[in-house]
Amino acid sequence: MTQAAPAEQAGGVAGAPLIEARGLTRHFKVGGAIARKTLHAVDDVNFTIGDREIVALVGESGSGKSTVARLLARVYTPTAGDIYYQGKPLSGFRSRRDLLAYRSDVPMVFQDPFASLNPAYRVSHGILRGLALHRPDIPRKERRAEAERIVARLGLDAAGDVLDRFPYELSGGQRQRIGFAQALAYRPKLIVADEPVSMLDVSVRIGLLNLMAKLRDEQGVSLLYITHDIASARYVADRVMVMYAGHVVETGPVEDVLQAPKHPYTQLLLDAVPDPRAPLSVGPSSDRGEPPRVVDPTPGCRFRWRCPLAVETCSRITPELVELAPRHDAACHVAVAAAGRGNVAVRSDVAVRGA
Amino acid sequence: MASALVPDAPVLEVRGLTVEYETAAGPVRAVDGFDLDVLPGEFVGVVGESGCGKSTMLFGIAQLLSPPARISAGSVSFRGRDLVTMTAKELSATRWRDLSVVMQSAMNALNPVTQLGKQFEDTMRAHGERSGEAIQQRSVEVLQLVGIDPVHLKSYPHQLSGGMRQRAMIAMALLFTPDLVIMDEPTSALDVVAQRSLMVQIKELQQRLGFAVVFVTHDMSLVSHFSDRLVVMYAAQAVEIGPTRAVFDNPGHPYTRGLLDAFPSIRGPRVPLTGIPGSPPNLLNPPVGCRFAPRCPHRFELCDAPPPLYEAPGSLAACHLHAPAVAEVSR
């Protein structure tokens, strides 16, 4: 295949999804020269993101979700596997022109709105620079007007005024909107948003989640929404992927996964969410919420040490994603067996919910 | 200790606590006339958004404020003695023995280059415990209380997970069986699963050992199942106080209702959420009347005057909607 810039070849390979990860793997070397070890941050991950779709990537810290974001943004290159953008492998984008075009199609929004804007420049700086770099079709004189249009679209009042302020003059919610404005200036296809609301107060979070849904509906932008807050994922996402210890353990339409979780980790995650509307129910919890071991992992399910359902097979064979309901996959030997789809002996005294 | 108290007399009585930060533009009142009673063994949750003064209020109670912050008015009576007027020497005799503090970030609160056991020992020696054997025994005891293997007395903080570090901080706070433990967002750096497990454990310890807790958090849903009483803070003031369940079921203040409506729920129908439009006022120059009025959907003419705490159906709420005359008309 020729190395054409993605933006030039409209639509890319016909019928290909917007983004597809195949066998995506990223390892890091840790430890000194003598005790050299390998940390498996992301291991053999497969997923797709379609047009006009918000996909939530949910998991605890250390699950590898931010590494996936950085692989998508080309901050890291994969150890193995590849990401296909409109059917073309990212490893083929070598020239500055190709990478620039890809980055303008897939920008990132960061977690901390207090650290991600340069305090020495006015708010307009980042947006105007983005326009200069990624939108050569807009003449210099019209960039300012375009920046005002973008900012207004993000629900910031008195757009002209906001652009001339410094970041310290804005509230957290306003700053994060500016973060989205910078991304939106590139006319992106997919925005990778890494915990975009976790630093914000509850009362302003919802405004940003609504904004993300609006971008999808009105601008046709897809979003990868990375979060540890599965309740907010339900609110905004079309599909959800649950990551644990570098593996995707469950994926499916958001309501299906939340109402009928197949993987025991997803069930644990859902049970841990505090819900003020639910009646008082405080049971003793034996799970300490310890992070998984991903340094030089051995074969087998990585959740087995915390899993109430683990059987002998789980410590020998790494489970793979199996479709257990329409478009709803889980990587769990027990859930697969309970659905009558595998040959693993399941203890008779345990039941898998939703199976 | 606790036996010296009249039964059911509050262990902590805060009256009119006011904390000001000196700034170039004038004093900023971060806590304004805050009142709170905490009964022995009670779990009080204090919720509010960033900048509402909740952490400053805690530091004011524990006398941990440093310039430019200072307590400009009010009293903090702990077991009958005013902490505000105590000398540094009297304070250090009380602090940690009878009243301990668990900070937000255990990674920063623990000394990274000192073993856990050594830090426990330093704490106990600083408060007059001399016997090495007693120190060792108590250190093992408190670690077991929070479910950490005592071998970790020889561990450095970086060798523990985030959840274990927070547990170790709580163990340290319990070295002297205090009457009151003050907690400033101890779970905010943890994942939901670890967070839930720590909350359950704090509650179990509190019920077993009988200490009172003042727990500050920005996450209202977190304390919903654990606190006996809830205080909602907005713009330096307490706007609602009541039994936790009653406040959740029947919030008396429009701000509390707004906060509750902003939480996406994972159960039940998927409803559109709105959040609260606008942002909190600048405390350098707060509104003269009700501080929530500029963002409030129920604003009316009375709101130009500051509301006192009125009797609401389930709680006390600083909202003119519950003024006897107004409540009468709406009924």
Minimum Cα–Cα distance from B192: chain A residue: A272
Three-class HEC string of B81-148: EECCCCCHHHHHHHECCCEEEECCCHHHHCCCCCCHHHHHHHHHHHCCCCCHHHHHHHHHHHHHHCCC
pLDDT band at A353, cuts 50/70/90? very low
Calculate mean pLDDT across residues A87-94: 89
Q: How many A/B residue pairs have CB atoms within 8 Å?
A: 128
How many Cβ atoms are within 10 Å of A239's Cβ, its own excluded?
Answer: 22
Return the residue in A162, A228, A255, A288 with the most chain B beta carbons within 10 A, the one to mutate for interface testing.
Answer: A288
Q: Determine the Cα–Cα distance for residues A256 and A234; give it in Å rounded to an integer.
A: 10
> Which is more confidently placed, A192 or B279?
A192
Confidence check: pLDDT of A2 > 50: no
Which residues in chain A have their CB less than 8 angstroms from residue B187's CB?
none
Q: State the pLDDT confidence band at A354, using cuts at 50, 70 and 90.
A: very low
3-state secondary structure of A217: helix
Q: How are the residues of chain B apportioned to helix, strand and coil, as percentages rounded to the nearest 5?
A: 35, 25, 40
Q: Which of A301-310, B35-44, B79-88, B186-195 has the highest mean pLDDT?
A: B35-44
> Which of A168, A203, A249 has the highest number of chain B CBs within 10 A, making it the mutation to test binding with B?
A203
Q: Which whole number is the average pLDDT over A64-73?
A: 90
Angstrom distance (rounded) from CA A348 to CA A283? 24
User: How much is the mean pLDDT over chain A?
Assistant: 83
pLDDT exceeds 90 at position B145: no
Task: Give the model's pLDDT for residue A276.
Answer: 67
Q: Across residues A203-210, what is the average pLDDT?
A: 83
| Residues in chain A, total | 355
Using alpha carbons, select from B263, B323, B281 the residue that is nearest to residue B298: B323
Nearest by CB to B191, from A209, A231, A289: name it: A289
Tell me, rounded to whole angstroms, the distance of Cα A32 from its chain centroid: 31
Percent of chain A with pLDDT over 90: 29
Q: Tell me which residues of chain A have a C-beta less than 8 Å from any C-beta of chain B.
A: 60-61, 171-173, 201-207, 209-210, 228-232, 234-235, 255, 258, 268-278, 280-285, 287-291
Is B285 in CB contact (< 8 Å) with chain A? no
Residues 6 or more apart whose CB falls under 8 angstroms from that of B184 comprise B55, B58, B101, B102, B103, B104, B216
CB contact under 8 A, B200 and A285: yes
Asked if the C-beta of B258 comes within 8 angstroms of chain A's C-beta atoms, the answer is: yes
User: What is the pLDDT, as a whole number, of residue B330?
Assistant: 60
Q: For residues A288 and B195, give the distance between their C-alpha atoms in angstroms, rounded to a whole number.
A: 9
Among the partner-chain residues B50, B193, B267, the one whose CB lies closest to the CB of A268 is B193
pLDDT digits (tens, 9 = 90+) for A120-174: 999 889 889 889 988 888 898 999 888 888 888 887 765 567 888 888 888 777 8
The per-residue pLDDT for B284 is: 83
Is the per-residue pLDDT at B120 higher than 70?
Answer: yes
Three-state secondary structure call for residue A117: coil
Calculate the average pLDDT of chain B: 86
Nearest neighbour of A60 by CB, restricted to B191, B198, B222: B191
Residue B134 CB: number of other CB atoms within 10 A?
A: 11
Query: For residue A347, what pLDDT is reported?
Result: 46
pLDDT at A26 over 90: yes
Q: Find the range with the poorest average confidence among A128-137, A277-286, A314-323, B281-290.
A: A277-286
Note the pLDDT of residue B14.
93
DSSP-derived secondary structure for B234-300 = ETTEEEEEEEHHHHHHS--SHHHHHHHHTSPPSSS--------SS-PPPTTS--SS-TTGGG-TT--
Q: Quick one: average pLDDT of B8-21?
A: 90
Report whether pLDDT(A30) > 80. Answer: no
Distance from CA of B223 to the nearest CA of A (A): 8
Q: Say how far apart CA B192 and CA A107 lie, in whole Å.
A: 28
In this predicted model, what pLDDT tens digit does every residue of B231-268 receive, in sequence order?
999 999 999 999 998 998 889 999 999 888 887 777 77
* Cross-chain CB nearest to A232 (options B163, B264, B279): B264
Residue A351 confidence (pLDDT): 45
To probe the interface with B, which of A114, A198, A206, A270 has the most B CB atoms within 10 Å? A206
Q: Flag whether pLDDT at B8 surpasses 80.
A: no
How far does B145 lie from chain A, in Å, by closest CA? 14
Asked if A234 and B266 come within 8 Å (Cβ–Cβ), the reply is yes
* A157 to chain B: closest CA residue: B278
pLDDT at B106: 67
Measured CA to CA, the distance from residue A331 to residue A262 in angstroms comes to: 9
ipTM confidence score: 0.72
Given this model, what pLDDT does residue A6 score?
45
Domains of chain A with CATH codes: 16-31+38-107+188-204+220-259 (3.40.50.300), 114-187 (no CATH), 260-273+298-355 (no CATH)
B266–A61 CB contact, under 8 Å = no
pLDDT for A336 beyond 80:
yes
- Give the closest residue to A205 by CA, choosing from B306, B259, B199: B259
pLDDT for position A349: 44
Of the residues A256, A273, A287, the best mutation for testing chain B's interface (the one with the most B CB atoms within 10 Å of its CB) is A273
The DSSP call for residue A158 is S
Instruction: Tell me which residue has tokens 């009964």.
Output: B39
pLDDT digits over A36-51, tens only? 788 888 999 999 999 9
Q: Which of B191, B197, B266 sits opposite A231 (nearest CB)?
A: B266
Return the percentage of chain B with pLDDT > 70, whole number.
Answer: 95
* A280 interaction partners in chain B (CB closer than 8 Å): 225, 245
B155 touches chain A (CB under 8 A): no
> What is the pLDDT at residue A285?
52
Place of tokens 């190709």: A98
Neighbours of A58 (CB within 10 A): 27
Q: Pick B140 or A279 by higher pLDDT.
A: B140
The verdict on B260 touching A (C-beta cutoff 8 Å) is yes
Task: Choose the mutation target among A195, A242, A277 for the interface with B, i.e. most B CBs under 10 Å.
Answer: A277
Predicted local distance difference test score (pLDDT) of residue B268: 73
| A169 Cα to chain B: minimum distance (Å) | 12
Assess whether pLDDT exceeds 90 at residue A241.
Answer: yes
Which B residues in the span 108-147 are in contact with A, Cβ-Cβ below 8 Å?
A: 147
- 3-class SS of residue B56: helix
B125 CA: distance to closest CA in chain A (Å): 31
Tell whether the model's pLDDT for residue A10 goes beyond 60. Answer: no
